Copies of this chain bind each other. A is one copy, B any other.
Amino acid sequence: MKRDYRHDLEKTARQMILVHRVDTLIRLILRTIMKNIRVKHSGIFLYDKYKDEYVIRVSKGRRGIKIPEGFAKIKKDNSLIRYFTDKELSSFDQDFLLYNRINYYLKYSRSKGRSDLVDFLEDLKGQLSLFQAKACIPGFFRNDLIGILFLGAKEGGGVFRPEELGFLSVLASDVVMAIRNAWLFEDLNKQLDKNKKLFLNTVIAFATAIEAKDKYTSGHTERVVKYSLIIADILSKTDPGVSAEFIENLRVAALLHDIGKIGIPEEILNKKGILTGKEREFIFKHPLIGANILSPIGEFKEIIIGIKHHHERYDGKGYPSGLKREETPLIAAIIAVADSYDAMTTDRPYKKALSKDDALKEIKRNSGKQFNPRVVGAFVEAFEGNKI
């Protein structure tokens, strides 16, 4: 094997280990092939475990071929796959498949009267012609065929030299390791995504269940989440504190802002008349009850703050802590505006809904009194941009 192959193989192997996206990996592999062997194109058939078939990926060489429609995938019983995996074909050289050798195999099979092998080889020849493949090199992990590297004709014509096939063989086994590594990463990342969705869906289910207690607030939670995220999106343009993490916490806090209502009897929540002092006290407690329910969840620190303080007022006359001005964390100040706007624009047991424009006027009028002016500014911008 030529020394420069070695060097490039080592370099590629070292790069491959850090590439965890199969797509990027394939580009790197094909680039390494094209750099070391001057062929018209190269490609790889890669196993897709979800579909249990092999998917083709081809280099964009100067004279790259166009894969015929419908041939981007091949099944496990395709003759090309079987050539390497079928133990009954071991009379052929299963370490490589060279297009030029097929005619020789055909002659041999005809001489032995093996019409089954003749049929198989004719089909195989057809397959290789489709992809204009002159050499195929399999990559196995234990007994599993992970993929097949294939090369088109050499730029200057001629056959593949033994050192070129040796290079491809070493590359194929490096590729197998790197692909398996990338698969594991993809699996872990998919699992992470799945878990995040499960978590969020669970929180949504609980939020919906709590909302159901209060028959006048159908859809309230969903709208508060929506308004909160729109406000945060606008604030994020100027406030670096409104990060992706902040927004994720805001989403959960807005979903759960009324979770404390779980502790308030339905007859108080749904009462049409004026609340007694004791009943109002109950209502005033819900941000604290909510914060308490979630307090064992260490990761919810920011979320709990958002829930606990979403009824504070900018002038310090809110509850439960009477926080003033910027003392109220932004996450809570955002929910406060979103929550109030939705309360104003929907019918409640104690009063009729305002129009959107009247509600906006109320929000503006209360800027610096009930609401944080920065949040009101973002809300007004969203409203005027028809986002709310």
Which chain A residues have a beta carbon within 8 Å of chain B's beta carbons? 6, 10, 13-14, 16-18, 20, 170, 173-174, 177-178, 180-181, 184-185, 188-189, 191-192, 194-196, 198-199, 201-206, 208-210, 212-213, 259, 262-263, 265-267, 293-294, 296-300
The answer to whether B205 and A10 have CB atoms under 8 Å apart is no
| A106 CB to nearest B CB, Å | 36
Q: How far is the CA of A246 from the CA of B16 in the complex (A)?
A: 38
The answer to whether B294 and A170 have CB atoms under 8 Å apart is no
The answer to whether A296 and B204 have CB atoms under 8 Å apart is yes
Q: Is the interface of A mostly helix, strand, loop or mixed?
A: helix
Of B10, B13, B177, B262, the residue contacting A210 (CB under 8 A) is B262
| A108 CB to nearest B CB, Å | 34
Nearest B-chain residue to A210, judged by Cβ:
B262
What would 21 A/B residue contacts be, using CB atoms closer than 8 Å? A6-B6, A13-B14, A14-B173, A14-B174, A17-B180, A20-B184, A181-B181, A185-B185, A185-B188, A188-B188, A188-B189, A194-B299, A195-B195, A195-B199, A198-B299, A206-B206, A206-B293, A212-B263, A262-B262, A265-B265, A265-B266
Specify which chain B residues have a CB less than 8 angstroms from the CB of A17 in the assembled complex.
16-17, 177-178, 180-181
Nearest B-chain residue to A13, judged by Cβ:
B13
Q: How far is the CA of A195 from the CA of B189 in the complex (A)?
A: 12
The answer to whether B293 and A205 have CB atoms under 8 Å apart is yes
Nearest B-chain residue to A252, judged by Cβ:
B202
Specify which chain B residues have a CB less than 8 angstroms from the CB of A294 in the assembled complex.
202, 205
Specify which chain B residues have a CB less than 8 angstroms from the CB of A208 in the assembled complex.
293, 296
Of B170, B192, B202, the residue contacting A202 (CB under 8 A) is B202
Specify which chain B residues have a CB less than 8 angstroms from the CB of A298 in the assembled complex.
201
Specify which chain B residues have a CB less than 8 angstroms from the CB of A300 in the assembled complex.
202
| A270 CB to nearest B CB, Å | 11
Nearest B-chain residue to A178, judged by Cβ:
B17
Specify which chain B residues have a CB less than 8 angstroms from the CB of A16 in the assembled complex.
17
Specify which chain B residues have a CB less than 8 angstroms from the CB of A20 in the assembled complex.
184
Specify which chain B residues have a CB less than 8 angstroms from the CB of A262 in the assembled complex.
209-210, 212-213, 262
Q: How far is the CA of A191 from the CA of B299 in the complex (A)?
A: 12
- Are A263 and B293 CB-contacts (below 8 A) given A192-B188, A202-B202? no
| A177 CB to nearest B CB, Å | 4
Nearest B-chain residue to A177, judged by Cβ:
B17
Nearest B-chain residue to A265, judged by Cβ:
B266
Specify which chain B residues have a CB less than 8 angstroms from the CB of A195 in the assembled complex.
192, 195-196, 199
The answer to whether B198 and A259 have CB atoms under 8 Å apart is no
Q: How far is the CA of A212 from the CA of B267 in the complex (A)?
A: 18
Specify which chain B residues have a CB less than 8 angstroms from the CB of A180 in the assembled complex.
17-18
